[in-house]
């Protein structure tokens, strides 16, 4: 069975399914319904098959490698699925599967407004290109897939093209992602210069001879290039505008999965292609992770657009993943293989966790937005009564992302903490300080994330509706609810069976070049996970059961005790004034104190507008406070860069005379120059 | 058999004793202010009274408001079973990790804050906002102070930490002592005490915890108050048995157990007295001054963690 499942034919068939899905959807474009079911149905089929394929590879432990012929030199369409690739492919397919199920119902609100055929086309291409990105084994082929992925996601971002904000977000994304691609190309060219090949296997083999300078240059440019996609600070500015612009199931894919392809390549390069890393690489990544996680969650707190808020949390979670990845690099540069495997397993675990709960949250947000027609959380309220199931799923996602036990987010943060503890334990003063600050930032991050999701969930779902739309909201259809239920089950399941899953991930981490042998985490008995020979132990099922038993016992005891007491319903205490939604706390009010506390970092600005009953301004009628943040990245990093580009472009226009004779002269001069250059460099 | 008995004791000790220590703290405070004060057993009578009352639930509240008290109380029970109270021989390798305890506390806070918003009143919301501000900023100092202990004792298991600090030579106490300062500040914040919150008032301008539970009544209010009392005693137990674990039993034999129980009561009483003195001698801080104090806790704990060899 696994022989068949892991054969190249099946893999090509999976890609073919997506291709058929992509090609067929525009062809059926006349009928919204047909295009919807064709596009999403084939995406479901392809993802299911992809999940089976990658799952079989993971369980089976073999590494299928195959390639299709190419007539171009240096380029080969070669695939190789080691465990890391298979793991990322499985995550992509799993999230894509549920997002496609969700889309079956969700995209109905586009009927008659936007073309479903185009959506189906780019959606299928997008998923297929992510699968190829995770499995390609040749740098040029990888770049093609990477570019296809970026373009497909660009078209999905600008799908609702009648809103000018979306088009602007798309343009920013396009510019940023291509700046990133330039750095990626540079790092691949450096690899080629050092090893003479674009094949990942050959590069890994030849990298040992490369000079330290070349390695460092490759690392830095790869970090910038792939970091642009992963969206860590300060390369993140496209992310909070691009993710909300796309349709919600695409946001879920972009935020849950696409940004992870950047993480995937960072792992691939640091652990597969360039073993024997330097210490400062790891420390740099830990520092970036600490800053990204802390700032990401702070920006999320000040955000009142539900999808933007979730997008900022992606930056936070990428930061947490980087904390694990950075520790893994530090450990591996010091030859502590088993600790490196532990830290890497923590990063991978958080990767899959973030993919599940962030997709769940984006899908929940999509349902809320479809029901209320606004992304502004100040306009929600009381939705828990109107959309009870969506509320429950969103609550599960909120608790998971806030790292509350016994859900999956807690376990991966626990593992990341353990990796950081080992770092404090082991080294010289500088490294120690970095690790201690990383622990602090992770602790503050999870606390602030909890605050942010109390705000997001509380203001969205609890209390009374604050707008007409919110009071008339309806629960979403069956397919969206099914998809959210599936993801919620995954969130709970990954928490409950974390021990088993960790064993799988330790295998993935252990299979990479410089983390060989044994994992430091060990799952035994009652799924009790033990880290570093009993330095720490935990059993998620036990926490689960203990909480359940305790709650049940108390409920029972209180019920028996107070059986005869009545429960009456009455209005909320209104302090003598009429009870209106205005008395509830707003999202601005909720986060105001935290933002004020961190004003040095966030640079908030607030505008107060008050309307008065009288000309003398004694009796206020209505007041509104708007809080926003100064965009320090644009002011201090991107605006100067943009200005510089404009200046350089202005200088270039002097060369560009518009006279065709001049251009021919340039070509001639270039040719002569090249001939001299080549003539002197080729030995006769 | 003895093990089953001690486990029952371990699980029930916190909920059974916690109202007493709340009452004791109030009583000591009253005496310091030249009042007689109510008996230390008054909280038991209050709980008894609340459990015998009808309950009014806001019509705006949802199921979350209804289940939150049970969940919050359940978290305190699980934490109570996970921290060392009188014997380090009850090694709980399932939920005895300090991060589990810290994050279970966070779970309770999360539910509490949501329940505060749920009824849609004016007080609940700002109580939740303030609570999450304090909770988020406390996390760093709390975790780092416990990390210091974990690094000293080479284990993150609370029972293992307790037994290892109990046999720590005096020369190794510097980081532990510093971490204790960091922990104490975090503890006052987590248990809603001065200078963070005023546990004995319903003044709109000052309250945090009381604002969140203002819509509760009857049995659910009883569970909320009792859960808060549990949390208070849990933090006292953490402070007493992790940082000053002298006297804790290393085995499950009757004589050391009895002695350890007495020691625990004495130490918890001393903590209550200290907290009562702090509450009687300093003023509550403005809410925007709290982060400074919590940041102090973080920095002291970070230094402590850095000092561990």
Q: What percent of chain A has pLDDT over 90?
A: 58
Q: What is the pLDDT of residue A681?
A: 63
Q: What is the pLDDT of residue A527?
A: 65
Q: What is the pLDDT of residue B53?
A: 92
- Section A542-570 average pLDDT: 92
Q: In this structure, are strands A65-68 and A77-80 parallel, antiparallel, or unpaired?
A: antiparallel
The Cα A610–Cα A354 span in angstroms is 42
Interface mutation target, options B133, B142, B202, chain A, most CBs of A under 10 Å: B133
Q: What is the pLDDT of residue B298?
A: 95
Answer yes or no: is pLDDT of A116 > 60.
yes
Q: What is the pLDDT of residues A64-87, one digit of tens each?
A: 888 887 777 778 899 999 899 999
Q: What is the pLDDT of residues A601-628, one digit of tens each?
A: 888 887 788 888 887 778 878 777 777 7
DSSP assignment letter at A514? G
Q: What is the pLDDT of residues B112-143, one digit of tens each?
A: 999 999 988 888 888 999 999 999 999 999 99
- Section A539-563 average pLDDT: 93
Judged by CB atoms within 8 Å, which residues 506-545 of A form the interface with B? 526, 528, 530, 534-539, 542-543
Judged by CB atoms within 8 Å, which residues 162-221 of B form the interface with A? 214-215, 218-219
Cross-chain Cβ contact B59/A569 below 8 Å: yes
For chain A, say whether B303 makes contact (Cβ under 8 Å). no
Q: What is the pLDDT of residue B145?
A: 96
Q: What is the pLDDT of residue A683?
A: 57
The Cα A419–Cα A438 span in angstroms is 11
Average pLDDT value for chain B = 92
Q: In this structure, are strands A620-629 and B55-58 parallel, antiparallel, or unpaired?
A: unpaired
Q: What is the 3-state secondary structure (H, E, C) of A47-62?
A: HHHHHHHHHHHHHHCC
Cross-chain Cβ contact B136/A444 below 8 Å: yes
The Cα B2–Cα A256 span in angstroms is 50
Choose among B234, B232, B265: nearest CA to B247. Answer: B265
The Cα B202–Cα B195 span in angstroms is 16
- Give the residues across from B249 on adjacent strands: B87
Angstroms from A655 CA to nearest CA on chain B: 57
Sign, CA dihedral A355-A358-A361-A365, equals negative
Q: What is the pLDDT of residues A241-270, one digit of tens each?
A: 999 999 999 999 999 999 999 999 999 999
Give residues with Cβ within 8 angstroms of A92, minimum separation 6.
Answer: A50, A127, A130, A131, A134, A257
Answer yes or no: is pLDDT of A488 > 80.
yes
- Section A158-185 average pLDDT: 93
The Cα A663–Cα B11 span in angstroms is 86
Prediction pTM value: 0.94
Nearest CB neighbour to B59, from listed A402, A432, A570: A570
Answer yes or no: is pLDDT of B204 > 90.
no
Interface mutation target, options A436, A534, A600, chain B, most CBs of B under 10 Å: A436
Q: What is the pLDDT of residue A273?
A: 86
Angstroms from B66 CA to nearest CA on chain A: 11
Judged by CB atoms within 8 Å, which residues 240-279 of B form the interface with A? none
Answer yes or no: is pLDDT of B272 > 70.
yes
Residue A171 has, within 13 A of its CA and on its CB side, a CA count of: 5
DSSP assignment letter at A257? I
Higher-pLDDT residue of A574 and A271 is A271
Higher-pLDDT residue of A681 and B285 is B285
Burial of A357 (0-12, 13-18, 19+ CB in 10 A): buried
Cβ contacts from A onto B, under 8 A: 266
Q: What is the CA radius of gyration of chain A?
A: 27
State whether residue A631 is helix, strand or coil: coil
State whether residue A147 is helix, strand or coil: helix
Q: What is the pLDDT of residue A529?
A: 83
Looking at chain B, which residue has its C-alpha nearest residue A446? B136
The Cα A360–Cα A490 span in angstroms is 10
Q: What angle do CA B185, B186, B190 make, to 5 degrees?
A: 125
Angstroms from B258 CA to nearest CA on chain A: 27
Q: What is the pLDDT of residues A424-434, one digit of tens each?
A: 877 788 899 99
pLDDT band at A521 (very low <50, low <70, confident <90, very high): low
Answer yes or no: is pLDDT of B283 > 60.
yes
Interface mutation target, options A302, A440, A445, A457, chain B, most CBs of B under 10 Å: A440
Choose among A360, A385, A461: nearest CA to A102. Answer: A360
Reported ipTM: 0.96
The Cα B132–Cα A452 span in angstroms is 9
Strands (E), chain B: 55-58
Q: What angle do CA B117, B120, B126 make, to 5 degrees?
A: 50
Q: What is the pLDDT of residues A465-485, one digit of tens each?
A: 989 888 899 999 999 999 999
Angstroms from A109 CA to nearest CA on chain B: 29
pLDDT band at A276 (very low <50, low <70, confident <90, very high): low
């Amino acid at each position: 069975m696994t022989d068949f499942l892991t054969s190249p034919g099946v893999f090509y068939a999976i890609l073919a399914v997506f291709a058929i899905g992509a090609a067929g959807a525009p062809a059926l474009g006349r009928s919204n319904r047909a295009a919807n079911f064709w596009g999403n149905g084939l995406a479901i089929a392809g993802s299911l098959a992809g999940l089976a394929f990658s799952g079989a590879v993971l369980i089976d432990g073999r590494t299928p490698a195959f390639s299709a012929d190419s007539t171009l030199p240096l380029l080969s369409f070669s695939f190789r699925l080691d465990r890391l690739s298979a793991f990322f492919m499985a995550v992509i397919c799993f999230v894509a599967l549920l997002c496609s199920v969700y889309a079956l119902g969700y995209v109905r609100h586009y009927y008659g407004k936007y073309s479903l055929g185009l959506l189906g086309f780019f959606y299928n291409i997008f998923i297929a290109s992510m699968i190829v990105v995770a499995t390609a084994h040749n740098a040029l082929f990888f770049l093609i897939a990477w570019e296809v992925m970026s373009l497909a996601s660009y078209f999905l971002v600008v799908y609702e093209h009648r809103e000018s904000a979306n088009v602007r977000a798309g343009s920013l994304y396009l510019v940023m992602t291509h700046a990133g691609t330039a750095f990626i190309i540079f790092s691949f060219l450096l690899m080629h210069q050092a090893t003479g090949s674009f094949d990942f296997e050959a590069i890994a083999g030849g990298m040992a001879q490369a000079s330290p300078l070349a390695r460092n240059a490759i690392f830095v440019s790869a970090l910038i290039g792939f970091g642009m996609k992963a969206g860590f600070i300060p390369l993140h500015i496209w992310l909070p505008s691009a993710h909300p612009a796309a349709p919600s199931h695409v946001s879920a894919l972009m935020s849950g999965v696409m940004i992870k392809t950047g993480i995937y390549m960072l792992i691939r390069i640091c652990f597969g292609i360039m073993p024997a890393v330097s210490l400062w690489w790891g420390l740099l990544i830990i520092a970036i992770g600490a800053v990204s996680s802390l700032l990401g969650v702070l920006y999320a707190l000040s955000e009142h657009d539900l999808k933007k808020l979730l997008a900022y949390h992606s930056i936070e979670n990428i930061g947490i993943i980087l904390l694990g990845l950075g520790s893994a690099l530090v450990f591996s540069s010091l030859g502590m293989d088993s600790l490196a495997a532990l830290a890497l397993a923590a990063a991978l675990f958080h990767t899959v966790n973030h993919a599940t709960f962030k997709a769940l949250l984006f899908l929940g947000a999509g349902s809320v937005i479809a029901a209320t027609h606004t992304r502004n959380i100040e306009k929600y309220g009381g939705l828990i009564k109107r959309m009870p199931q969506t509320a429950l799923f969103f609550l599960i996602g909120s608790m998971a992302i806030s790292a509350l036990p016994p859900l999956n987010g807690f376990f991966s943060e626990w593992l990341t903490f353990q990796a950081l503890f080992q770092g404090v334990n082991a080294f010289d003063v500088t490294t120690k300080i970095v690790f201690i600050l990383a622990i602090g930032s992770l602790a503050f991050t999870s606390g602030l994330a909890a605050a942010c999701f109390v705000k997001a969930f509380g203001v969205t779902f609890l209390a009374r509706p604050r707008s007409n739309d919110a009071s008339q909201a309806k629960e979403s259809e069956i397919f969206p609810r099914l998809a959210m239920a599936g993801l919620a089950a995954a969130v709970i399941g990954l928490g409950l069976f974390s021990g088993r899953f960790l064993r799988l991930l330790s295998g993935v981490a252990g299979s990479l070049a410089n983390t060989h042998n044994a994992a430091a985490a060990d799952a035994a008995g009652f799924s009790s996970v033990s880290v570093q020979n009993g330095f720490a132990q935990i059993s998620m099922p036990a926490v689960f059961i203990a909480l359940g038993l305790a709650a049940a016992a108390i409920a029972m005891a209180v019920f028996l005790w107070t059986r005869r007491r009545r429960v009456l319903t009455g209005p909320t205490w209104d302090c003598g004034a009429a009870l209106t939604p205005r008395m509830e706390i707003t999202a601005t009010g909720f986060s105001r104190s935290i933002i004020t506390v961190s004003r040095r970092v966030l640079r908030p600005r607030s505008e107060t507008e008050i309307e008065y009953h009288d000309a003398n301004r004694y009796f206020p009628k209505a007041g509104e406070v708007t809080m926003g943040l100064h965009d320090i990245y644009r002011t201090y990093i991107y605006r100067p860069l943009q200005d510089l580009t404009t200046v350089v472009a202005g200088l270039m226009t002097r060369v560009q005379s518009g006279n065709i004779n001049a251009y021919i002269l340039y070509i001639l001069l270039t040719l002569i120059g090249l001939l001299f250059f080549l003539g002197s460099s080729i030995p006769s | 058999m003895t093990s089953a008995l001690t486990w029952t004791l371990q699980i029930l000790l916190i909920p059974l004793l916690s109202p007493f220590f709340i009452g004791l703290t109030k009583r000591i405070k009253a005496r310091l202010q030249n009042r007689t004060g109510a008996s230390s057993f008054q909280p038991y009578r209050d709980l008894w009274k609340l459990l015998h009352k009808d309950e009014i639930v806001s019509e705006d509240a949802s199921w979350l408001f209804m289940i939150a008290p049970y969940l919050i109380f359940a978290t305190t029970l699980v934490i109570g079973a996970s921290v060392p109270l009188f014997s380090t021989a009850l090694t709980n390798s399932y939920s005895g990790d300090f991060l589990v305890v810290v994050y279970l506390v966070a779970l309770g806070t999360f539910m509490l804050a949501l329940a505060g918003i749920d009824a849609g009143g004016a007080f609940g919301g700002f109580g939740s906002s303030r609570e999450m501000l304090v909770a988020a900023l406390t996390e760093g100092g709390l975790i780092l102070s416990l990390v210091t202990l974990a690094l000293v004792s080479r284990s993150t298991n609370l029972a293992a930490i307790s037994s290892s600090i109990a046999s720590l030579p005096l020369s190794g106490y510097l980081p532990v002592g510093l971490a204790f300062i960091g922990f104490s500040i975090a503890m006052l914040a987590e248990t809603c005490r001065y200078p963070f919150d005023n546990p004995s008032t319903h003044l709109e301008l000052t309250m945090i915890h009381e604002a969140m539970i203002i819509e509760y009544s009857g049995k659910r209010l009883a569970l909320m108050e009792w859960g808060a009392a549990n949390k208070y005693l849990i933090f006292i137990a953490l402070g007493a048995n992790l940082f000053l674990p002298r006297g804790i039993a290393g085995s499950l034999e009757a004589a050391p157990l009895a002695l350890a129980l007495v020691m625990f009561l004495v130490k918890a009483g001393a903590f209550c007295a200290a907290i009562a003195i702090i509450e009687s001698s300093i003023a509550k801080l403005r809410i925007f001054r709290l982060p400074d104090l919590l940041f102090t806790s973080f920095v002291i704990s970070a230094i402590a963690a850095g000092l561990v060899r």
